[in-house]
Amino acid sequence: MSGFDETKLDDADETVRVRFVVNGRKVACEVAPRETLVDCLRNTLELTGTHAGCEMGACGACLVQLDGRAVHSCLMFAVQADGANISTIEGLTESGVIADLQAEFHRRNALQCGFCTPGMLVNAQELLSQVAQPSRGEIRDALSGNYCRCTGYEAIVDAIDAVAKARSEGGGTT
Amino acid sequence: MSAPLTSLDRPNSYIGRSVPRPNAKRLLAGRGRYISDLRLPRMLYAAFLRSPHAHAKIVSINADEARTLEGVHLVAIGTDLAKICTPWIGTLDHFKGMTSAPQLPLPLDRVVWAGQAVVAVVAESRAIAEDALELIEVDYEDLPVVVDIDSARDAGGPVINPGSANNTCFRALLDNGTVDHAFAHAAHVVEEEFSFGRHTAVTLEPRAIVADYDPAAGALTVHHATQTPYQFQDLYSRHYGIPEARVRVIATDIGGSFGMKLHVYHEDMAVVGLSILLGRPVKYVADRIESFVSDIHARDHRVHARMALDAKGEILAMDVLDLTAIGAFSTYPRTSVVEGNQVIRLMGAPYRFKNYRATLEVIFQNKVQTSQYRAVGHPIACAVTERLVDMAAAKVGLDPFAIRAQNVIADDAYPQTSPTGYRFEALSHQACLKRLHEMMDYDALRAEQADLRKRGVYRGIGIAAFVEITNPSPAFYGVGGARISSQDGAILSLTPSGEVRCLISVTEQGQGTEAIISQIVADQLGIAQEHVKIITGDTEVTPHGGATWACRGAGIGGETALRATRVLKRNILEIAALILQERPSALDIVNGEVVDAGTRNQRMPISEIARIAYFRSDTLPPGTQAQLTVSHHFAPQGYPFAFTNGIQGCSLEVDVETGFIKLLKHFIVEDCGRVINPMLVDEQLRGGIVQGLGAALFEECRYSETGQLVNGSLAEYLVPMPMEMPDIVIAHVETPTADTVLGAKGVGEAGTAAASACVLNAVNDALSPFDATINSIPITPTKVLKTLKRF
* Domain end among A64, A92, A120: A92
Which residue in B356, B383, B232 sits closest to B301, CA to CA?
A: B383
Residues in CB range of B443: below 8 A, 6 or more apart: none
CA distance A98 to chain B (A): 10
B51 lies in which domain range? 35-143+202-294
Interchain CB distance below 8 Å, B29 and A102: yes
**A141 in the same domain as A101:** yes
The answer to whether the CB of B641 falls within 8 A of the CB of B469 is yes
**Confidence at residue A12, expressed as pLDDT on a 0 to 100 scale:** 53
Which residue in B102, B113, B265 sits closest to B198, CA to CA?
A: B113
Which residue in B585, B481, B555, B465 sits closest to B748, CA to CA?
A: B555
Asked if residue B555 has pLDDT above 70, the reply is yes
What is the Cα–Cα distance from B771 to B76, expressed in whole angstroms?
Answer: 59
B623, part of any domain: yes
The answer to whether the CB of B20 falls within 8 A of the CB of A109 is yes
**A86 in the same domain as A119:** no
- Classify residue B596 as exposed, middle or buried by CB count within 10 Å of its CB (0-12, 13-18, 19+): middle
**A28 in the same domain as A53:** yes
What is the Cα–Cα distance from A23 to A28, expressed in whole angstroms?
Answer: 13
Give the pLDDT band (50/70/90) at residue A124. very high
**A81 in the same domain as A107:** no
- How many residues does this entry show for chain B? 791
**Confidence at residue B791, expressed as pLDDT on a 0 to 100 scale:** 83
**A122 in the same domain as A64:** no
Residues in CB range of A174: below 8 A, 6 or more apart: A96, A99
B306: Cα within 13 Å, side-chain hemisphere: 12
* pLDDT tens sequence across B285-337: 999 999 999 999 999 999 999 999 999 999 999 999 999 999 999 999 999 99
Interchain CB distance below 8 Å, A115 and B512: no
A146, part of any domain: yes
A114–B contact, CB cutoff 8 A? yes
Asked if residue A128 has pLDDT above 80, the reply is yes
**A58 in the same domain as A16:** yes
Angle at the Cα of B186 from the Cα atoms of B181 and B191, rounded to 5 degrees: 100
**B507 in the same domain as B535:** yes
Interchain CB distance below 8 Å, B204 and A106: no
Q: Render the burial of B22-44: b for 16+ CB within 10 Å, e for the rest.
A: bbbeebbbbbbebbbbbeeeeeb
Interchain CB distance below 8 Å, A112 and B511: yes
Give the pLDDT band (50/70/90) at residue B9. confident
Q: Contacts of residue A32 in chain B, CB cutoff 8 Å? A: 127
A137, part of any domain: yes
**A109 in the same domain as A88:** no
Give the pLDDT band (50/70/90) at residue B50. very high
Give the pLDDT band (50/70/90) at residue B550. confident
Q: Contacts of residue A163 in chain B, CB cutoff 8 Å? A: none
Q: Is the ipTM of this complex over 0.90?
A: yes
* Domain end among B294, B312, B341: B294
**B672 in the same domain as B766:** yes
What is the Cα–Cα distance from A131 to B786, expressed in whole angstroms?
Answer: 41
CA distance B543 to chain A (A): 23
> What residues does B534 pair with on adjacent strands?
B502
A22, part of any domain: yes
H/E stretch holding B195 reads: strand B188-200
Cβ-based neighbour number of residue B10 at 10 Å: 12
A121–B contact, CB cutoff 8 A? yes
Q: Please give the tally of structural domains in chain A.
A: 2
- Which of B24, B713, B727 comes nearest A114 by C-beta? B24
A1, part of any domain: no
* Domain end among B634, B660, B676: B634
A49, part of any domain: yes
Residues in CB range of B397: below 8 A, 6 or more apart: none
Q: Please give the tally of structural domains in chain B.
A: 3
**Confidence at residue A174, expressed as pLDDT on a 0 to 100 scale:** 42
H helices of B581-715, in order, are: 606-615, 678-697
A66 lies in which domain range? 6-92
CA B772 remoteness from chain centre? 34
Domain containing A150 — which CATH number? 1.10.150.120
H/E stretch holding B212 reads: strand B208-214
What is the Cα–Cα distance from B99 to B103, expressed in whole angstroms?
Answer: 12
A85, part of any domain: yes
**Confidence at residue A173, expressed as pLDDT on a 0 to 100 scale:** 45
| pLDDT (average), residues B719-730 | 97
**B125 in the same domain as B267:** yes
**B498 in the same domain as B436:** no
Enumerate helices (H) and strands (E) in chain B, giving the number of each: 20, 29
Asked if residue A171 has pLDDT above 90, the reply is no
**Confidence at residue A8, expressed as pLDDT on a 0 to 100 scale:** 53
Q: Which residue type does B539 have?
A: T
Asked if residue B466 has pLDDT above 90, the reply is yes
A131–B contact, CB cutoff 8 A? no
**Confidence at residue B163, expressed as pLDDT on a 0 to 100 scale:** 84
Mutation target vs A (from B23, B723, B752; most A CBs, 10 A cutoff): B723
- Classify residue A2 as exposed, middle or buried by CB count within 10 Å of its CB (0-12, 13-18, 19+): exposed
| pLDDT (average), residues B33-58 | 98
**A119 in the same domain as A86:** no
Which residue in A108, A118, A115, A55 sits closest to B256, CA to CA?
A: A115
B154, part of any domain: no
For residue B508, the chain A residue with the least C-alpha distance is A113
- Which of A51, A109, A157 comes nearest B683 by C-beta? A109
CA distance A51 to chain B (A): 8
A174, part of any domain: no
Q: Render the burial of A14-40: b for 16+ CB within 10 Å, e for the rest.
A: eeeebebebbeeebebebbeebbbbbb
Angle at the Cα of B700 from the Cα atoms of B726 and A72, rounded to 5 degrees: 70
Q: Which has more confidence, A39 or B473?
A: A39
Interchain CB distance below 8 Å, A151 and B722: no
Interchain CB distance below 8 Å, A109 and B680: yes
Asked if residue B60 has pLDDT above 80, the reply is yes
* Domain end among A62, A92, A122: A92
CA distance A168 to chain B (A): 23
* pLDDT tens sequence across B164-196: 899 999 999 999 999 999 999 999 999 999 999
**B211 in the same domain as B72:** yes
Which residue in B276, B294, B264, B243 sits closest to B81, CA to CA?
A: B276
CA distance A92 to chain B (A): 9
**B740 in the same domain as B668:** yes
Interchain CB distance below 8 Å, A153 and B690: yes
* pLDDT tens sequence across B650-692: 999 999 999 999 999 999 999 999 999 999 999 999 999 999 9
Q: Which residue type does B162 have?
A: P
Asked if residue B521 has pLDDT above 60, the reply is yes
Asked if residue B352 has pLDDT above 50, the reply is yes
B353, part of any domain: no
A72–B contact, CB cutoff 8 A? no
H/E stretch holding B395 reads: helix B378-396
> What residues does A72 pair with on adjacent strands?
A63
* Domain end among B274, B294, B314: B294
**A124 in the same domain as A64:** no
> What residues does B462 pair with on adjacent strands?
B650
Q: How many CB pairs under 8 A join A and B?
A: 181
What is the Cα–Cα distance from B724 to B726, expressed in whole angstroms?
Answer: 7
Q: Which residue type does B125 have?
A: S
CA distances from B1 to B4, B673, B739 (A): 8, 21, 29
**Confidence at residue A3, expressed as pLDDT on a 0 to 100 scale:** 54
**B107 in the same domain as B75:** yes
* pLDDT tens sequence across B103-155: 999 999 999 999 999 999 999 999 999 999 999 999 999 999 999 899 999 98
**B504 in the same domain as B438:** no
Q: Contacts of residue B650 in chain A, CB cutoff 8 Å? A: none
Asked if residue B261 has pLDDT above 90, the reply is yes
* Domain end among A52, A69, A92: A92
Largest CA distance in chain B: 89
Asked if residue B437 has pLDDT above 60, the reply is yes
Cβ-based neighbour number of residue B1 at 10 Å: 4
B462, part of any domain: yes
What is the Cα–Cα distance from B322 to B328, expressed in whole angstroms?
Answer: 18
**A134 in the same domain as A59:** no
Give the pLDDT band (50/70/90) at residue B628. very high
Give me chain B's average pLDDT, please. Answer: 96
**B681 in the same domain as B549:** no
B521, part of any domain: yes
H helices of B154-260, in order, are: 179-184, 229-240
H helices of B526-557, in order, are: none
DSSP-derived secondary structure letter, B557: I
